[in-house]
Amino acid sequence: MRPLLSFQRSLPKYRTWLLPMLALATTACARHTEQSLADVHAPFIALERSFQGFQNWARVDLPDRPEQGNTHVAGETHEYINAPTPPGSKAFPVGTIFVKTVESKKKSDIFAMVKRGAGYNASGASGWEWFGLRARPDGSVAIVWRGVNAPDGETYGGDPLGGCNGCHGAAAKNDHVHAYSLAHR
């Protein structure tokens, strides 16, 4: 039989305070979600998990739109927002996520814009980051691309620069968002 090590003999007395401390620490950390951290002046960095379950967010059904270049095809279009803005807001808060789905005979697309804040994309749609997403067979979504603009090869109808900022610049008075009006909140 092996002798008990000193920490093994004292383990029962540590259990009385160690388990409650671990429970307290876990509870305190659980309160700090990505969304609550967005309230500070630090940027919000969207991760793949930020988009999961977007189909359960508030939805706006958009009218069928004409095709816009090779990127935004014509078809059934829906836009989802992760958290409605407070009434009277003049801008969307940092941490706001919009996901737009377009279903057509040609293809299905998922795009997103995230209010990153902290001066991101200052020369374009200030504070916003653009995303291309792809649905996986299990229903989750993957990030295909992200940045201040779509990657090379993506083209947008009517935008000679071929980017997100050109089109969303037309909605600058609504914090660069076309479909979800701040004025009606």
Tell me the domain boundaries of the chain: 6-32, 37-174
pLDDT of residue 42: 86
* Among the ranges given (4-13, 47-56, 102-111, 137-146), the one the predictor scored with the smallest mean pLDDT: 4-13
Q: State pLDDT tens for residues 60-88.
A: 888 776 666 556 667 888 999 999 888 88
Q: State pLDDT tens for residues 86-144.
A: 888 999 999 999 999 988 877 788 999 999 999 999 999 999 999 999 999 999 999 99
pLDDT band with cut points at 50, 70 and 90 for residue 5: low
Query: pTM (2 decimals)?
Result: 0.73
Sheet with 108-115, strands from edge to edge, namely 58-65, 75-81, 97-103, 108-115, 128-135, 141-147
